[in-house]
Structure 1
Amino acid sequence: MPHSHCHGEHDDHANPSELGFQYNLFEKIDKDNMECLNESVDGAGKKVFKPWEKRLERSEYVESDVDEELLFNIPFTGNVKLKGIIIASEDTDAHPSKLRLYKNRPNMTFDNVTLEPDQVFELHKDSEGILEYAPKIVTFSSVSHLTMHFPSNFGAENTKIYYIGLKGEWSPAHRHGVTICTYEARPNVDDHKLKHLDTVSRAID
């Protein structure tokens, strides 16, 4: 599958503060309802979604448990136009080697990953958090829930991830629109009924 990544010359060294500002979608994750499957320590998966300037910290990370697979179910607090992903691990075989993305499929499990993903990235080892992967904008323009499946690594028994960065635009969810439309439709139906009754009563007179 095609993938894109940049070597540090452009984004990392040109203007790191700007890049860090862009990788702020971790603030828009519904952490209470986010889950990581096959994590060896409960709750560790949530901790890898952190500020860009903390991407090199090694004290908090997630490690897979019974095999090398990890599955993240990530609900957002609104709609996201996803534009970039960074995956930072260590320069060992425990680094994930592939990422499969699913859009708007809440509560996925390992039983569901046989489904065709919306995009696949072949990952490169990145211990510095400088390789950027670009999701297809058309596909990931309105994401309320993102599933990240890491099916394999470079040969280790377990997979480690220190940082996952998400770049994009966030907007509030438009849930109220449906309610308003439904509410406005009801009086119209009643109006028609009233007019119909008026017509009948006039005819009787």
Structure 2
Amino acid sequence: MAHGHSHGGCSCGEEHSDAPERGLEYGLYQRIDLDKMQCLNESREGSGRSVFRAWEERGDRSKFVESDDDEELLFNIPFKNIPQMSFDDTRREADQVFSLNIDVAGELEYPTKISRFSNVSHLSIHVSKNFGAEKTKIYYIGLRGEWAEAHRHEVTICNYEAAANPTDHNVKQTTLQTHFIS
């Protein structure tokens, strides 16, 4: 049973195992459109893509992204084509802010506000500072959740006839008969 603090693993207060199913929970990296993914302020172009990978590969220290000019990194992760965030946009209030801990094993989890991340098709992650170094180096970012294909409903233009217009309907004229009931 969980007791609210961490012993080098998850700090979310829930019990977890390292069973293969845990890797399946972190499968959202497979849905990222890597050709459209951006990492701003990366020192080596394209290296930001390498940190989104399988849970089982989180310990691979040969793949990483390092910041260039300062400690900031900004990931724009599209799951479909949506406009990109810039450093100018980081002044706006974030949907959620995390206070990160050093995690050499790549096992810490940060619980999200589920209501803020339902039906996400684009995610921006802004790393604004680190633990005092001039540059930030990240080896792994795991994205946990469920993926569902977006269903887009196109606008359909319909004309509805509220009352019939007699000139629109070719009807043979019939002899009018009148019946009286007394």
TM-score normalised according to structure 1 size = 0.72
What is the distance in 2 between the residues matched to 1:121 and 1:6?
A: 17
Does structure 1 residue 28 correspond to structure 2 residue 5?
Answer: no
Which of 137, 144, 151 aligns to 2:121? It is 144
Query: What one-letter code is carried by the residue in structure 1 that aligns with 2:120?
Result: V
Q: Is the 8 A contact 2:80 2:122 kept in 1?
A: no
Question: Cα deviations across residues 3-27 of structure 1 (Å, max 9, x unaligned)?
Answer: x98543732xx33322111111000
Question: Cα deviations across residues 48-75 of structure 1 (Å, max 9, x unaligned)?
Answer: 0011111000111000000000000001
Which of 36, 43, 47 aligns to 1:44? It is 47
Please list every run of 5 or more consecutive structure 1 residues that lacks an aligned counterpart in the other structure: 79-104
Q: Is the 8 A contact 1:77 1:173 kept in 2?
A: no
Paired residues for 1:11-90 under 5 Å: 11=16, 14-77=17-80
Looking at secondary structure, tell me which structure has more strand per residue: 1
Does structure 1 residue 196 correspond to structure 2 residue 161?
Answer: no
Question: Cα deviations across residues 101-141 of structure 1 (Å, max 9, x unaligned)?
Answer: xxxx7311111100000000000000101110111111111
Aligned position for 1:100: none
What is the distance in 1 between the residues matched to 2:5 and 2:113?
A: 13
Query: What one-letter code is carried by the residue in structure 1 that aligns with 2:165?
Result: H
Bigger radius of gyration, 1 or 2?
A: 2
Deviation of 1:198 after TM superposition, in Å, equals: 3.7
Aligned position for 1:135: 112
What is the distance in 2 between the residues matched to 1:40 and 1:135?
A: 29
| Aligned Cα root-mean-square deviation (Å) | 2.6
TM-score normalised according to structure 2 size = 0.81
Question: Aligned residues, how many?
Answer: 163
What is the distance in 2 between the residues matched to 1:74 and 1:135?
A: 17
Which of 154, 157, 163 aligns to 2:140? It is 163
Q: Is the 8 A contact 2:67 2:135 kept in 1?
A: yes
